[in-house]
Amino acid sequence: MSYRKFSLMPLLLVFCLSGCAVQSAGQEQNKLMEEDQPVAAPAAEDPLVVYQANLVEGYQPILSEMETATRYRIEIEIADSISTVSGQQEVLYTNNEEVALQEIYFRLFPNGSGPYMTVSNLNVDGEPVQVVLDHHNTAMRVELPTELQPGQSVSISMSFDQTVPTEMGGNYGLYVYLDDILSLDQFIPIIPVFNNEGWNVEDPPVNADMLFSDEAFFDVQVSAPPQLVLAGSGVEVNTTVKDGKQVVRYVGGPQRDFFLAASPLFQSASRKVGDTKITSYYLEEYRDGGMLVLETAGHALESYNQRFGLYPYTELDLISTPMNAGGMEYSSAASLSLYYYNPDHNLGNLTFLESVAAHEIAHQWFFNQIMSDQIEEPWLDESLVQYATYLYYVDRYGENNAEGFVDSWYQRWDNVDMASMPIGLPAAAYNEDEYGPIVYGRGPLFFAELEQQIGEDNFNELLRDYTDEYRWGIATGADFKTLAEETCACDLTPLFDQWVYQ
Ligand SMILES: [Zn+2]
């Protein structure tokens, strides 16, 4: 769904992680009066105020418009073995849809590549509910005892346990503990988008990224062995030591997910662009790659800030992790293939590393700020992000030097003999050999063609308007086409038919 503002009754839901009951502001006030406290109860502290630390100043006012976005409050414990992770979470969900809901889904993505995650102690407003798994255990259906009407809220709590694989499995091996690095890719039980198709739950496809979620707030306390260097979405607001473990609290939002990585071997280096602190996490022996990523990120952020609107957060983390892909985007973070950093590895390649870093950072706009259905329309963020990466090269090195990156699109597309397959199909419509060449190779060439047709000024205006109009929401290919046609005051159906849909 698109994020919408709802004028709710003031409702204060109290979070606690041990199955507490929900308390309304009215109940809270009665309690105060019984205890003979001052009659004028103090205004409840805005529960979103803590997220100001995560947002650069210009974006902080958005918090007052996001009171009904989903709030995740999570406690994570990483065991001494590091590959065992347990958690408890309490989710405050408000029905921002136009219809009553009888059930709410959570995605359990770690189960997409094996039986790595279980959920227990599921409660709805403090009452126990049965755990029902669906779609090969990658989705959990939570039946609500009573229908949740539009505007109403519900509190759902659960415990979860995870055994992280120690060798690479499905989904590009992103969820893994390997080479002394723990990478917790999409490990939080997360509520998918509800739209005119209902709940967006399906078996994760082989090709595409899986996440399709609304903007939400994440308050995550991580307890971990003290030797681990942690890197996560959002910002650290508090660090303590308890029972010999480090306890770090992260807050982040509005954002799409929460990512966490950890390693005793991580080194880090930081720099600032405006009010954003960029940190590169890398292994000591691959310092050259770590510094290259930091340098690239600085230039990319400056370029995209100018072109697509200011990056919203006070932090951006770029983390070297083992994977079978080049990189993976997360909210206010990205992971980049450990092997690209390593000159002795057959994949070691700092040129690739630079392009992947610039690509994943562009996803901070086209994925995190504007979400699209990555399974139904993977082109809308991936092909556009490929084009944005080209713009990074143009801004940093000039148009002539950026042509090398354009060549890489043709090389990819040539892997399917430059077949004129539409770029706008669902991920599952491409076989494994077609997906990359079409979406990442032919896809950005469509955006080049679009720029050619509507002119550079219109094209730049379009990308700026697209982020302004859909920031924190969800866009479709049809939305993008409509906006493009408004921008150029022209009919783009023939162009879209030639490239996108056919
Ligand atoms: Zn991408």
Using 50, 70 and 90 to split pLDDT, how confident is the model at 300?
very high
Same domain, 486 and 382: yes
Grouping H, G, I as helix, E, B as strand and the rest as coil, residue 295 is helix
Selection from 121, 435, 59 nearest residue 252 by Cα: 59
Question: By C-alpha distance, which of 306, 494, 472, 427 is closest to 481?
Answer: 494
Q: Is 463 helix (H, G, I), strand (E, B) or coil?
A: helix
Residue 242 and residue 307 in one domain: no
Arithmetic mean of pLDDT, 328-333: 98
Residue 378 alpha carbon to ligand 1 centre in Å: 9
Q: Is the pLDDT of residue 203 over 90?
A: no
Task: Compute, in angstroms, the gap from residue 386 CA to the centroid of ligand 1.
Answer: 7
pLDDT value for 410: 98
Domain-ending residue, one of 369, 387, 404: 369
| Number of folded domains that form the chain | 3
Q: How confident is the model at residue 207 (pLDDT cuts 50, 70, 90)?
A: confident
Q: Residue 328 is part of a domain; what is its CATH number? A: 1.10.390.10
486: amino acid identity, one letter: E
Same domain (yes/no): 122, 59: yes
Is residue 304 left, alpha or beta, with left meaning phi > 0 and alpha meaning psi from -120 to 50?
Answer: alpha
Q: How far is the CA of 443 from the centre of ligand 1 (A)?
A: 12
Tell me the CA–centroid distance for residue 363 and ligand 1, in Å. 7
Tell me: the pLDDT tens digits for 72-129? 999 999 999 999 999 999 999 999 999 999 999 999 999 998 999 999 999 999 999 9
Share of the chain above pLDDT 90, in %: 87
- Which of 19-33, 226-240, 326-340 shows the lowest per-residue confidence on average (mean pLDDT)? 19-33
**Rounded to the nearest whole angstrom, what is the distance from the C-alpha of residue 179 to the centroid of ligand 1?**
24
pLDDT at 271 over 70: yes
How many angstroms does the Cα of residue 382 sit away from the middle of ligand 1?
Answer: 5
Expressed in angstroms and rounded, the spacing between residue 384 Cα and the centre of ligand 1 is 9
pLDDT at site 5: 27
Residues 139 and 92: their CA atoms lie apart, in Å, by 18
Residue 430: per-residue pLDDT: 95
pLDDT at 319: 98
What pLDDT, on the 0 to 100 scale, is given for residue 45? 67
What's the pLDDT score for residue 391?
98
Distance from the alpha carbon of residue 467 to the mean position of ligand 1, in angstroms: 17
CA of residue 30 to ligand 1 center, whole Å: 51
Pairing assessment for the beta strands 70-78 and 84-94 based on DSSP bridges? antiparallel
pLDDT at position 323 over 80 = yes
Tell me, yes or no, whether 288 and 221 share the same domain.
Answer: no
Verify that 186 and 209 share a domain, yes or no. yes
Query: What's the CA gap between 390 and 365, in Å, rounded?
Result: 15
- pLDDT over 90 at 420, yes or no: yes
For 352, the domain range is 265-369
CA–centroid distance, residue 36 to ligand 1 (Å)? 58
Tens digit of pLDDT for each residue in 435-453? 999 999 999 999 999 999 9
Q: Cis ω on the peptide bond leading into residue 322 (within 30° of 0)?
A: no
Task: Kindly state the average pLDDT of the residues 348-375.
Answer: 97
For residue 434, report the distance from its CA to the centre of ligand 1, in Å. Answer: 16
Higher pLDDT among residues 49 and 44, named by residue: 49
Give the span between the Cα atoms of 416 and 442, in whole angstroms: 10
| Cα 389 to Cα 395: distance, rounded to the nearest angstrom | 10
Same domain, 278 and 401: no
Kindly report the length of the chain. 502
Calculate helix-pair angle for 287-308, 350-362, nearest 10 degrees.
40
Give the pLDDT band of residue 424 (cuts 50, 70, 90).
Answer: very high
In this structure, of 11-25, 36-50, 314-328, 417-431, the range with the lowest mean pLDDT score is 11-25
pLDDT of residue 169: 81
Residue 36 confidence (pLDDT): 41
CB 215 within 8 A of CB 255: yes
What's the whole-number mean pLDDT along residues 200-225?
A: 92
What does the block give as tokens for 372? 């699209």
Nearest of 387, 329, 386 to residue 361 by alpha carbon:
329
Q: Does 70 share its domain with 20?
A: yes
Residue 224 in this model has a pLDDT that exceeds 70: yes
Closest CA to 199 of 70, 68, 103, 94: 103
**451 and 350 assigned to the same domain:** no
35-49, 111-125, 151-165, 384-398: lowest mean pLDDT where? 35-49
- What's the whole-number mean pLDDT along residues 159-167? 97
How far does residue 436's CA lie from ligand 1's centre (Å)?
A: 10
**C-alpha–C-alpha distance, residues 148 and 150, integer Å:** 7
285 and 189, same structural domain? no
Confidence of residue 6 (pLDDT cuts 50, 70, 90): very low
Q: Is the pLDDT of residue 139 over 90?
A: yes
Question: What is the DSSP secondary-structure string of 362-411?
Answer: HTTTBTTTBB--TTT-HHHHHHHHHHHHHHHHHHHH-HHHHHHHHHHHHH
Mean pLDDT, all residues of the chain = 91
Q: Where is average pLDDT lowest: 12-26, 268-282, 337-351?
A: 12-26
Using the mean position of ligand 1's atoms as its centre, give its distance from the Cα of residue 105 in Å.
Answer: 25
Q: pTM for this one?
A: 0.91
Q: Give pLDDT, residue 421.
A: 97
- Choose the final residue of a domain: 210, 243, 264: 264
Statement to judge: residues 395 and 467 lie in one domain: yes
Ligand 1 centre distance from Cα of residue 379 (Å)? 10
User: In angstroms, what is the span from residue 423 Cα to ligand 1's centroid?
Assistant: 15
Strands 127-128 and 117-124, sheet pairing: antiparallel
The Å distance, Cα 348 to ligand 1 centre, comes to 20
* 359 C-alpha to ligand 1 centroid (Å): 6
Select from 220, 243, 264 the last residue of a domain. 264
Average pLDDT value for residue range 306-324: 98
Say what the alpha-carbon torsion angle 360, 365, 369, 372 is, to the nearest 10 degrees: -80
**Sign of the C-alpha dihedral, residues 153, 186, 331, 426?**
negative
Ligand 1 centroid, distance to 207 Cα (angstroms): 12
How many whole angstroms from 144 Cα to the centroid of ligand 1?
Answer: 36
Query: Which CATH number fits the domain that encloses residue 50?
Result: 2.60.40.1730
Kindly give the distance from the C-alpha atom of residue 329 to the centroid of ligand 1, in angstroms, as a whole number: 7
**Cα 135 to the center of its chain, rounded Å:** 22
CA of 227 relative to ligand 1 center, distance in Å: 32
Question: Do residue 197 and residue 278 come from a single domain?
Answer: no
Same domain, yes or no: 287 and 229: no
Give the rounded distance of the alpha carbon of 481 from its chain centre: 24
In this predicted structure, the answer to whether residue 132 has a pLDDT above a threshold of 80 is yes
**How far is ligand 1, taken at its centre, from the CA of residue 299, in Å?**
18
What is the dihedral sign for C-alpha 124, 129, 134, 136?
Answer: positive
CA 450 to centroid of ligand 1, rounded, Å: 20
